[in-house]
Amino acid sequence: MSTQVERIVIAGAGQAGATVAFGLRKAGFDGSITVIGDEAHLPYERPQLSKEMLNLEKGEHRPIRSQEDYEAQSIQLELGARLTRVDADGRQVLLDDGRKVGYDRLVIATGVKPRQLSGPFDHTGRACYLRTVEDARRLREDIRSGRPLAIIGGGVIGLEVAAAARAAGCHVTVIEAGERLMSRSVDEIASAYLDRAHRRDGVDIRYGASAVELGEDGQLKLSDGSVVPAQSLLVGIGVTPNIQGFEHLGITDTAGVLVDGHGRSPIGSIYATGDIASQPHGQGHGRIETWANAQDHALNLVKNLLGEDVPYQSPIWFWSDQGKINLQVVGNANQGKRFIRGDEHGDAFVVFRLDDERRVTGCTTINSPRDMAVARRWVKQGVRVDPQRLVDPVTPLRDCAI
């Protein structure tokens, strides 16, 4: 690393921020590292919020690393501190308590926050969102109470919560404005499976409807005129980027902080990673809101911060656990020619997507995690396959590549 980089400041004490900090030390960086986070907790991974933390038999959340680890690695943690503005010319950040922290390199890892449902539909203050430990604790108490739960949004968060609440015996209604579940990230076949599986589990699913008003009596009026019980209410309708404090820099777009394939923003001393990064990927440019991106992009960024020149090239991959359902997606699940391995009306099957040259460009596995391990490799390496063998579940996957 060039000698003048002695101070690295990381804005956002979440998964990506912590990964960069420890990654820098592991790679031998011996300058100062300061991680600034507005939550009171040590950085933690969020997937546990909608899974383990909503399982009434499991415990509290776990941080990624302990306080002692930060001390041992000389990583300065400023928790409960909010970055309010960046002075890019003076290379310093301003915190909400008035302090200024100077940097040679700034890494923005501030993530996203839940999109709020607008309008006067909730006079009761009962609606909750799910992004933080506090949100998960509150939702867990709602679930523990056994009261009927309405969930606005049939995306990943809504469906994971639906499964957890059903496991605890709650009456659950999912209200989806569109025509199918998880439409942003899976295709019609996987959506149809999710619909079947959640209904079988007792979830009431309403499509093409939105929330109009939540009454004091816990009845939620929908736009189609129907009414559903909502003594508890979760809103999971997407997210918006945490770009406050960076907007004046001219490095943001509607998705987040603009970065190139190396994680660099248009200002050379500023980088971004994790959910906040509006980055190039196989399907264009934008945010990638996944655990794997917060991990792998952050680790790749460490190399570039330390003077290497390594573009980030991992295909998008994520998983979702919805009760007994394990769903995973790699690459683009919505484009390309579709080939289905296994019975799409059963409980375990795989949907492959191939381009015109029979290269695997996307894959969705339903309760077939082992096949995903192969598919991830294929998508990453652009492997070509024989479609006829692919759709024959008796032929081992390894024999399908050509």
Ligand X SMILES: Cc1cc2nc3c(=O)[nH]c(=O)nc-3n(C[C@H](O)[C@H](O)[C@H](O)COP(=O)(O)OP(=O)(O)OC[C@H]3O[C@@H](n4cnc5c(N)ncnc54)[C@H](O)[C@@H]3O)c2cc1C
Smallest gap, in angstroms, from Cβ of residue 101 to ligand X?
Answer: 11
Name the residue with tokens 């059963």: 346
List the x/- string, 66-95, binding to ligand X by CB under 6 A: ----------------xx------------
Record the tokens describing residue 250, joined without a space: 């001219």
- Per-residue DSSP letter, 383: -
The verdict on 318 binding ligand X (CB under 6 A) reads yes
The smaller minimum CB distance to ligand X, of residues 83 and 354, is found at: 83
Distance of CA 184 to the CA centre of its chain: 13
Residue 21 interacts with ligand X (CB under 6 A): yes or no: no
Q: What is the largest CA-CA distance in the chain?
A: 66
Cα angle 136-137-139, degrees, rounded to a multiple of 5:
65
Q: For the chain, what's the residue count?
A: 402
Asked if 148 is part of the footprint of ligand X (rule: CB under 6 A), the reply reads no
> Does the protein bind ligand X through residue 131 (CB under 6 A)?
yes
Amino acid at 347: D
- Report the C-alpha gap between 172 and 234 in whole angstroms: 11
- Spell out the residues 6+ positions from residue 387 whose beta carbon is closer than 8 angstroms to its own: 337, 339, 354, 358
Q: Which stretch binds ligand X (CB under 6 A): 69-77, 106-114, 333-341, 354-362?
A: 106-114
Minimum distance, C-beta of residue 293 to ligand X, in the bound complex (Å): 6
Q: Interface residues for ligand X in 155-194 (CB under 6 A)?
A: 157
The residue with its CB nearest to ligand X is 14
- Identified binder of ligand X from the candidate list 29, 42, 50, 316, rule CB under 6 A: 50
Quick one: which of 49, 77, 258, 299 contacts ligand X (CB under 6 A)?
49
CB of 108 to ligand X, least distance (A): 9
* 39 near ligand X, rule: CB under 6 A: yes
Q: Which of these ranges, 5-13, 116-124, 191-199, 324-332, lies near ligand X under the rule CB under 6 A? A: 5-13
- C-alpha to C-alpha distances, 260 to 70, 256, 384, nearest whole angstrom: 30, 13, 29
Note whether 14 binds ligand X by CB under 6 A. Answer: yes
As a whole number of angstroms, the distance between CA 87 and CA 80 comes to: 21
Q: Which two tokens stand for residue 317?
A: 């991959």
257/390 with CB nearer ligand X: 257
Amino acid identity, position 324: K
Q: How far is the CB of 13 from ligand X (least distance, A)?
A: 5
Cβ closer to ligand X: 64 or 391? 64
Among positions 275-304, residues that touch ligand X (CB under 6 A) are 275-276, 289-292, 294
Cα 91 to Cα 70: distance, rounded to the nearest angstrom: 24
Q: What is the closest distance, in whole angstroms, from the C-beta atom of residue 150 to ligand X in the complex? A: 18
> How far apart are alpha carbons 51 and 41 in whole angstroms?
19
* CA gap 284, 264 in Å, rounded: 17
Stretch 261-280 residues interacting with ligand X (CB under 6 A): 274-276
Binders of ligand X in range 229-268 (CB under 6 A): 242, 244-245
DSSP code for 190:
H
Q: Does 400 bind ligand X (CB under 6 A)?
A: no
Which H or E run contains 305? helix 291-305
In angstroms, what is the minimal distance from the CB of 123 to ligand X? Answer: 26
Closest listed residue to residue 305, CA positions, set 18, 14, 21: 21
Residues near ligand X (CB under 6 A) are 11-17, 36-39, 46-47, 49-50, 82-83, 109-111, 130-131, 157, 242, 244-245, 274-276, 289-292, 294, 318-320
